[in-house]
């Protein structure tokens, strides 16, 4: 069984200001059962290892008794916030894995990352409702069919708005047989291009210059204190 520290640190200290993918974050969007985690694992670059931001990582650590309506979910959100603070402090590339069913939360999180200097993009994963229900049925942690249907409808309704807010916005059809090697390679190429491209966010550009001039490795070396980073995350990510 993995140690708790493995979930928290996840190779955190291996990066630096000169590494690839800094100040870049990709949001994974889609309804339950769309296959977001599978897609992001399929298209992760060999040269870029974005850190996954997903409350489900901790729910899985806590075991079968953990779900979205008990105290372990609250603990998982706190731990996700704490880990995200470490990632942002080290300006690591991120892959934010979520449903994107709540427009306000996604735009709020996008704005939070951009306020630290990150560029943001989105990969929107979709499949049919029937396929989604079947995939969720086969998982250890079950989600009620009514919940899946609601999220499915909500995500479809807000897709045009998300598309207007994220650039690049990459849509992936993950119905059975659609996610071919050719499709994976195309998505991989676009994501790698995003992660490897120069930072466009002027806050990120300024931070990079300051960090290089002063030999800083972390934002907390002279741009933000860890208390400031944690406070911003606690009020805008999973609010405590």
Backbone angles phi, psi at 5, to 5 degrees: -60, -30
CB neighbours of 190 closer than 8 A, spacing ≥ 6? Answer: 168, 170
Q: Tell me how far apart the alpha carbons of residues 176 and 180 are, in angstroms, rounded to a whole number.
A: 10
Task: Give the whole-angstrom CA distance, residue 79 versus residue 158.
Answer: 28
Tell me the C-alpha distance between 11 and 214, whole Å.
Answer: 24
- Out of 3.40.50.150, 3.40.50.300, 1.10.287.10, 3.60.130.10, select the CATH number for domain 4-236: 3.40.50.300
- 70 has pLDDT over 70: no
CA distance 219 to 222: 6
pTM (two decimals): 0.85
Residue-wise pLDDT for 101-152, tens only, equals 577 888 999 999 999 999 999 999 989 999 989 888 887 667 788 888 988 8
Length of the chain: 240
* For the chain, percent of residues with pLDDT exceeding 70: 80
The residue ranges of every structural domain in the chain are: 4-236
In terms of pLDDT, which residue wins out, 5 or 169?
Answer: 169
**What's the CA angle centered on 42, arms 143 and 139, to 5 degrees?**
20
């Amino acid at each position: 069984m993995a140690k708790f520290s493995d979930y928290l640190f996840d190779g955190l200290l291996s990066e630096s200001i000169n590494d690839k993918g800094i100040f870049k974050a990709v949001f994974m969007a889609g309804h339950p059962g769309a296959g977001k985690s599978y897609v992001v694992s399929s298209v992760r670059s060999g040269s870029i290892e974005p850190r996954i931001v997903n409350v489900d990582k901790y729910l899985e650590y806590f075991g079968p008794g953990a779900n979205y309506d008990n105290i372990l979910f609250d603990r998982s959100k706190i731990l996700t916030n704490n880990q995200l603070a470490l990632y942002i402090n080290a300006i690591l590339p991120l892959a934010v894995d979520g449903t994107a069913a709540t427009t306000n939360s996604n735009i709020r999180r996008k704005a939070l990352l951009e306020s630290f200097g990150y560029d943001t993009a989105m990969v929107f994963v979709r499949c049919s409702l029937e396929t989604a229900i079947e995939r969720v049925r086969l998982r250890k942690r079950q989600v009620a069919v009514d919940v899946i249907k609601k999220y499915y409808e909500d995500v479809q309704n807000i897709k045009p708005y998300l598309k207007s807010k994220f650039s690049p916005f990459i849509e992936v059809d993950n119905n059975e047989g659609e996610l071919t090697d050719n499709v994976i390679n195309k998505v991989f190429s676009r994501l790698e291009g995003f992660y490897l491209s120069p930072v466009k966010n002027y806050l990120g550009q300024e931070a990079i210059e300051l960090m290089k001039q002063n030999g800083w490795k972390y934002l907390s070396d002279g741009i933000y204190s860890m208390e400031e980073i944690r406070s911003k995350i606690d009020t805008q990510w999973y609010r405590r």
